[in-house]
Amino acid sequence: MADSHNNAKSHRPFYLAKLTLILYVCLVIYATITPFNFVGNSPLTPWAWVMAPVPRYIPIFDVLSNVIGYLPFGFLMIFTIFPYLRKWWALLFTVIMGLAFSGTLESLQTYLPTRIPSPIDWYSNALGVLIGALFAIPLSPEWLSGNIAERLRSTYFGQYQGFFLLMMLCPIAQIYPQNAWLGMGDLGLWGTRISPYWDFPLNNASQEILITAISSYGIGVFFLFGMRKQVASLKIITILFIVMATLKVLISQFQFSQTGIFHWWSLSLGIGLALGCVFIYLASYLQKKYQWYLALMALGTMILMVNLLPYNPYFVAQLEQLPQGYFTHVNGMLGWIATVWPFLAIYLLLKSRHNDLK
């Protein structure tokens, strides 16, 4: 009985996989049915695409992108339903859920004039789910369900899984071009912005310094508060900034070709980042309750600045150079992540207040 109890305890559900799967599903829904311009008077039935003829030309890019895009669904679903379903029962359930999820989105595309539902997309999505699930099935449940990943998360963030998830999302949120690097939370409201012809003593360079300093400081203090006191939080935050910068360079080469790798970097941005890092270092000596207040104020200030200060003309030019076609909806999804990240961070701060400010 004792061995059975210990075995059941070690095989507990992997809640981080569940949170990640929920986030992934939301992003896929957004990328699949944007711009949400549904037309209700379509003569087609929602399932008409199932019997549609196979296209004469099937772009390999479409098939591969659909397969790769649904790999995480199959992989994460296996660990989300563990230990309730295992092995081949888990595989069968995952494939059925993937077919239902993808089929529902294809049916919704019937009422979107800018989208064309296709059985080929459905088949390739199902293949991606199957491959992702087959990758997960041979792994030991402890690899994700209760030991390694959970121990890593609990070592750095204790009970707060949301902070760990936002740390994983933070580099992805920097891919989409922003008015100033790290300046997330831009709602795209032109009417709220100060005129670029203002007489206030700020120009594009000083504005970039201000946004980058406050943004980097807000991100850093947010994770300072979220991480446990026993860990080397400054080292982890430094690694996070290096990962964000490296990913930005790699993706910029893909987005803007070789000549645009460092288009987002400038001296003023470096100055702002250096100032933010100095403030993070000073904040590391403060108590958790003061870090909570500073993180909340910095993130709130960042949101206000990116929505009130005028757009840098170079930023507007970058948006016009973003790749279109296949990447239009992907760029929209990345922009959405960059927009909601600081709001999610503020929500986590407010949610954790009563537990840490005693």
| Residue-level pLDDT at 214 | 95
Cβ-based burial of 197 (10 A; exposed 0-12, middle 13-18, buried ≥19): exposed
Tokens of 293: 């207040």
* Each residue's pLDDT tens digit, 122-151: 888 899 899 888 888 876 555 544 445 556
Q: How far apart are CA 72 and CA 76, in angstroms?
A: 6
pLDDT at residue 250 tops 60 = yes
Q: Are 272 and 210 spatial neighbours (Cβ–Cβ below 8 Å)?
A: yes
At 74-125, the pLDDT tens digits run 888 888 887 788 788 888 999 999 999 988 888 888 777 777 777 888 888 8
User: Mean pLDDT across the stretch 37-42?
Assistant: 69
Which of 66-75, 97-106, 247-256 comes out lowest in average pLDDT?
247-256
Kindly report the backbone phi and psi dihedral angles of residue 188, in degrees, each rounded to the nearest multiple of 5, phi listed first: 70, 30
Q: Which of 202, 225, 208 is nearest to 273 (CA)?
A: 208
CA 349 remoteness from chain centre? 18
Structure tokens at 211: 């946004």
Phi, psi of 315 (to 5 degrees): -65, -45
Q: Cβ of 338: how many Cβ atoms within 10 Å? A: 24
Distance, CA of 180 to CA of 265 (rounded, Å): 9
**Lowest-pLDDT range of 19-33, 183-197, 204-218, 323-337:** 323-337
- Highest mean pLDDT among 40-44, 201-205, 258-262 belongs to 201-205
Q: In this predicted structure, which of 13-27, 216-230, 239-253, 314-328 has the lowest mean pLDDT?
A: 314-328
3-class DSSP state for residue 330?
helix
Position 51 pLDDT exceeds 80 = no
Residues in contact with 169: Cβ distance below 8 Å, sequence separation at least 6, in sequence order: 23, 337, 341
The residue behind tokens 């792994």 is 139
Report the pLDDT averaged over residues 268-289.
92
Cα separation of the two ends of the chain: 40
When mean pLDDT is compared over 16-25, 121-130, 167-176, 216-225, the highest value belongs to 216-225
217-248 pLDDT per residue, tens:
999 999 999 887 767 788 889 989 998 888 88
pLDDT band at 152 (very low <50, low <70, confident <90, very high): low
- Residue 6: the pLDDT is 43
Classify residue 61 as exposed, middle or buried by CB count within 10 Å of its CB (0-12, 13-18, 19+).
Answer: exposed
Structure tokens at 196: 């670029």
Taking every pair of Cα atoms in the chain, the longest distance, rounded to a whole number of angstroms, is: 77
pLDDT tops 80 at residue 44: no
pLDDT at position 96 is 93
Distance (Å) of CA 320 to CA 130, 185, 263, 323, 324: 37, 20, 14, 8, 9
Whether 130 contacts 122, CB under 8 Å: no
Q: Which of 44-48, 275-279, 310-314 has the lowest mean pLDDT?
A: 44-48
If DSSP codes are grouped into helix, strand and coil, which group holds residue 62?
Answer: helix
pLDDT for residue 9 is more than 60: no
Q: What is the mean pLDDT of residues 174-187?
A: 85
Model's pTM, two decimal places? 0.64
Instruction: Give SS3 for 52.
Output: coil
Whole-number pLDDT of residue 15: 67
Domain residue ranges of the chain, discontinuous segments joined by +: 2-146, 150-356
Q: How many CB atoms lie within 10 A of CB 100?
A: 10
Name the average pLDDT for the chain. 77
Average pLDDT over residues 55-61: 68
The single residue listed with the structure tokens 């760990």 is 164
164-173, 224-233, 251-260 — most confident range: 164-173
In the chain, what percentage of residues exceed pLDDT 70?
Answer: 69
Mean pLDDT of 30-54: 71
More confident residue, 78 or 260: 78
Q: Exposed, middle or buried, 212 (CB in 10 Å: 0-12/13-18/19+)?
A: buried
Local structure of residue 14 (DSSP, 8 states): -
Amino acid identity of 11?
Answer: H
CA 235/CA 67 separation, integer angstroms: 37
- Give the residue-averaged pLDDT of 165-179: 84
